[in-house]
Structure 1
Amino acid sequence: MGWFGASGGAPRSMDSLLFLSARRLVAHRPLPTVPAQLYPVLFQAAFLDGRPLVLQDLVAQWPFPVLNFQRIVGRHELCRDHPSKLCIQSIILAVVEQLRRDLEEPGCDSSPCRLRVLDVTGLQDDAASHAPDGMSVWSGTVALAKACVEVSKRQQEFQKRRSRSHKGSSGAAAAPRSVDVHADLFVNGTSYGVLWDALQAGNASPLRLKCREFQAEELCLAGIVSLLKSLDPSGVRRVDLRFNNLGLGGLSLVLPHLSRFPNLRSLRLPYSNVDVRRLIPESVLGIRCLARELGKLQSLRELNLGSSRLSGNLRHILCKLEAPLESLELAFCSLLPSDFAFLSQSFHAPALKRLDLSGHDFSQTLLQPLKHLLEETSASLLHLDLMECRLTDSHLATLLASLQRCSLLRSLGLFGNSFSMAGLKDLLWKTVVLPDLCLVVYPIPVDCYRSGLDPGWILEDQLDRECLGAVSAELGQMLESSGRPDVIWTSNPYGHRALDYFSL
């Protein structure tokens, strides 16, 4: 019986007989000879039990051309939460060792390892969970880059030695085996140098980095451009540039380098220090350039311009896009009614699956434009964030009919607004009929504060935690009585990982 069923999925439970047997087997070294189809379950068991040396043995004899880390390990909660730094490092070291042997013994095909692609995309950031032995996505990128640099140096040293020992020989050396490492790369000023060195080796190195998602934080303009120019363009699906203080001028210099990525679907530019509220000549030229370069990204479906001051200019920025966006994040963008009017009338509205308008004041002139926009997006919208928007019970009552029309809605973020317990109850009763709704992040009701001030300005010690506990219990009982105990209602905006566009 093979590891994968007809659907290519994983075992139904972690305590299956096969998995329990695999855990007993990896407790001892060396491993006995086993059929090829058992390697994935042994790999999973070794990772869960923290056995880096066994993982090295498995990689050294990997019988398949591809080792997809997430497909084997990432689907299982126990493995995802397990400290993984030593295990991931051991996998990388095993690949490096195999390539080193291939360089030193060219033409020898005695190795049982058939690995050609190591896919480590989608690794979770263990540092975010404060796991003592976890590996952050940043240190994971450094580890991969150092491995590529090491293999490249060993190849150069081997070629020099061979050149000296074979002077005058006309025989051609056999091409060394190569492994492509598919990864999501995270870089800042500290790790820039080693990643740049790794990317410069390119296809000439036996160990080659292939980027799927690229994120740069607090990096200078020249560093961002040099790395973008070094990436293999074929596999890049997301570029995320945040906290880089680029401004409109810097973006105008960076964005032209994105058109070389034909599969770029997601562009995230939050906290880029863009302010186009004053239409001085430089701003007008910058907006035109921004619009022109966005229009060249034929595959673009997600755009995040969070914390850019765009007042009245959304139309001019998005006017060159030839395909509708499916995810648009405009949190804290100082939008005006004219921006909402443009978005409501655009071809983006009926295609939007995710919309983030957090940080706008919907208590006055923007409320009706928001209501109209929700009606236009209702047929497609899956995720809506309206956090810290100065909404009260009366504003909520105005929006509820529009929210009810969003029949596909899965998650709703309303944290940081000023609702009463009565308002929350009304929200629950009116939205519990939405069949796909599974997560609501609600604001702590004003009833739970000891003063009558706006909760956004109240100190933590004014919160009545006993009252908040009672609110949570009552909302839970309401969900139970309505037959929807599966829906999560929480006042913790950080308790659930943000839903990613590629998981929609």
Structure 2
Amino acid sequence: MWSLRFISAQALVSQPRVARQSLEGVAHNLYPLLFKASYLLEQAEVIRVLLECWPLEECRLGALLGPSADHPDDLRDRACRACLEACVRGLADHVLRDGGRRRLRVADLTGVRDVQVQRCPCGRALGRWGRTELLARTCCELQAEPRGARHPIEVLTDLFVTEGNFEVVVRALGPPRPAPLRVHCLSFRADSLGPSQLLHVLRLAGPGELRRLDVVHNVRLHAGHVQQLLAQVGFPRLISLTLPAKAFDVPPACTLAPSGEDPFLTSIAWELSQMTQLTELSVAFSTLTGKIQTLLGPLRTPLRVLDLAHCSLNHADMAFLANSTHAAHLEVLDLSGHSLVSLFPSTFFRLLGRAAQTLRVLTLEECSIEDGHVSTLILALSPCRELRELRFLGNPLSARALRRLFVALGELPKLQCVEFPVPKDCFPEGAAYPQDELAMSKFDQQKYDMIAEDLRAVLLRAGRDDIQVSTPLFGSFDPDIQETSNELGTFLLQAFKTALENFSRALKQIE
């Protein structure tokens, strides 16, 4: 139910010319209401004027767009291009405004969620990479305006830096003199950067304030780079850390000690232990066989989020996880790529038992879970009464086994989302697992539809129509990858070209 105040605000901003003329007579505490009404109606012109004249000391986007007593709807999943561009332009207008008091000191541009389907009228999104480039270019434009630096605004933001916007971000973060908009980075995502570029831009981004660091995909780091990054830059307030594939590989020119001890891993673990707020760690696709205790043992705070997908864990690793202090605090756990039920049944059972009181999201993709393992899996999941999301794509399960599993899943009271594999009944007999993308797409769609409908009926009979079930063949929607897909394609082509050149050079040396 909308309040009369919000309905009145909506009526005012629906007429931009009248709204602009009326702002001087509007009480300061009504500006947030006018902002949300303008965002809802996509009145970019009004949003820009509101920010230019903003009479309050703070402007926090997440709070302005979130549910309120006047308007309970949540608009934070609207990354509307027109509205967000108007916000940044409005901040620029504010610092350059002649006359009048300029009270705005902090502009928090975080809190917007990137989703697959935009609900804003225009349907055009401005993703995190686009928001980063827009803010960076605006900062660079304002650096030539010394009058704006007398009344600077601290801008809190989430940066997404790739090769494509690296130069402009560096210029925005490291101006030669005080700037009108001073960027403070709360979360940082890096893709398609070299190690030296990453180190350089992170030093400029203010690592002392950074809460989340995601280094993903085409940032080729080895253990030496990671150790250097953590030791030289330092992230005292970091809560979440994601490292790319093979980030713990020993540097090419380095040899391990005769004892087999990995000095890089030991040093990395010590640096992580100095991050007293670190509770989320993702190190997927790194070979960590026998190294989990060395890596996680020194941590001072229990982890709530842990991604160890495809890390080649062994019995010792699983035993440490099951008995560690982390197990009793885990909320999100990804152990994809490990034959958990067949190789580590007892430790896997113990791990889920200890995590049962807190575990909300569990991912077990490509874990070689077969029909004969379903009874064990059901027993392991049964204590997990807090579980909300379960993903187990890529496992060779039949429709009959899935039906048994879905009966048990219907008894988990808080479960909301299940991602299940295409039943093996839908593939040609003898199909190999794990499957590549080509094989994954070649299945009997009609048979799958019938089985999926039957599985939904199992949940309906249990009174669980609230559980959403799906089979995303190529993974869940990732707005960051979608936004930079062209740049990623260019990067892959360049990498392929480099590999061919190296191969050609090696052949010539042999000759």
TM-score (norm 2): 0.82
Identical aligned residues as a percent: 31
- Range moving further from structure 2, 435-444 or 60-69: 60-69
Aligned-partner SS, 1:208: strand
Check if 1:387 corresponds to 2:375: no
- Range moving further from structure 2, 384-393 or 122-131: 122-131
Separation of aligned partners in 1, 2:401 and 2:232:
48
Separation of aligned partners in 2, 1:35 and 1:421:
63
Q: Structure 2 vs 1, CA of residues 463 and 21 (structure 1 numbering), >3 Å: closer, same or farther?
A: farther
The residue number in structure 1 matching 2:388 is: 410
For residues 378-457 of structure 1, the aligned pairs below 5 Å read 378-454=356-432, 456-457=434-435
Aligned-partner SS, 2:143: helix
Q: Structure 2 vs 1, CA of residues 469 and 22 (structure 1 numbering), >3 Å: closer, same or farther?
A: farther
- Equivalent residue in structure 2 for 1:59, among 27, 51, 54: 51
Separation of aligned partners in 1, 2:353 and 2:473:
26
- Equivalent residue in structure 1 for 2:256, among 281, 284, 309: 281
Q: Structure 2 vs 1, CA of residues 256 and 83 (structure 1 numbering), >3 Å: closer, same or farther?
A: closer
The Cα offsets for residues 166-206 of structure 1, whole Å up to 9 and x where unpaired, read as xxxxxxxxx82221111001101221222122222399323
> By how many angstroms is 1:276 displaced?
5.9
The residue number in structure 1 matching 2:13 is: 26
Check if 1:238 corresponds to 2:212: yes
For residues 79-478 of structure 1, the aligned pairs below 5 Å read 79=75, 84-101=80-97, 108=99, 110-111=100-101, 113-125=102-114, 133-155=124-146, 176-201=150-175, 204-243=178-217, 244-259=219-234, 261-275=235-249, 280-281=255-256, 284-362=262-340, 364-454=342-432, 456-457=434-435, 459=439, 462-478=442-458
Separation of aligned partners in 2, 1:417 and 1:455:
8
Contact kept, 8 Å, 1:301 with 1:324, in 2: the verdict is: yes
The count of aligned residue pairs is 460
Separation of aligned partners in 2, 1:495 and 1:242:
16
Separation of aligned partners in 2, 1:45 and 1:128:
21
What are structure 2's unaligned runs of at least 5 residues?
A: 479-511
The Cα offsets for residues 91-143 of structure 1, whole Å up to 9 and x where unpaired, read as 11121122123xxx5xx5x24x5322111113334789798732121121111
- Range moving further from structure 2, 215-224 or 452-461: 452-461
TM-score (norm 1): 0.83
Aligned-partner SS, 2:171: helix
Aligned-partner SS, 1:228: helix
Aligned-partner SS, 1:239: strand
> By how many angstroms is 1:455 displaced?
6.4
Separation of aligned partners in 2, 1:203 and 1:475:
63
Aligned-partner SS, 1:235: coil
The Cα offsets for residues 199-242 of structure 1, whole Å up to 9 and x where unpaired, read as 22399323111111011112122222222222334532111112
Contact kept, 8 Å, 2:78 with 2:114, in 1: the verdict is: no
Q: Structure 2 vs 1, CA of residues 346 and 447 (structure 1 numbering), >3 Å: closer, same or farther?
A: same
**1:39 aligned partner, one-letter code:** Y
Contact kept, 8 Å, 1:228 with 1:257, in 2: the verdict is: no
Q: Structure 2 vs 1, CA of residues 493 and 255 (structure 1 numbering), >3 Å: closer, same or farther?
A: farther
The Cα offsets for residues 371-400 of structure 1, whole Å up to 9 and x where unpaired, read as 232223223212110011111121121121
Separation of aligned partners in 2, 1:301 and 1:338:
22
**1:117 aligned partner, one-letter code:** V
Separation of aligned partners in 2, 1:144 and 1:126:
20
Contact kept, 8 Å, 1:277 with 1:310, in 2: the verdict is: no
Contact kept, 8 Å, 2:77 with 2:114, in 1: the verdict is: no
> By how many angstroms is 1:494 displaced?
6.7
Q: Structure 2 vs 1, CA of residues 461 and 494 (structure 1 numbering), >3 Å: closer, same or farther?
A: closer
- Aligned-CA RMSD value: 3.0
Aligned-partner SS, 2:469: strand
Separation of aligned partners in 1, 2:115 and 2:332:
26
Aligned-partner SS, 2:188: strand
> By how many angstroms is 1:287 displaced?
1.2
> By how many angstroms is 1:152 displaced?
2.5
> By how many angstroms is 1:452 displaced?
4.8
Contact kept, 8 Å, 2:116 with 2:477, in 1: the verdict is: no
Q: Structure 2 vs 1, CA of residues 81 and 328 (structure 1 numbering), >3 Å: closer, same or farther?
A: closer
Q: Structure 2 vs 1, CA of residues 123 and 328 (structure 1 numbering), >3 Å: closer, same or farther?
A: same
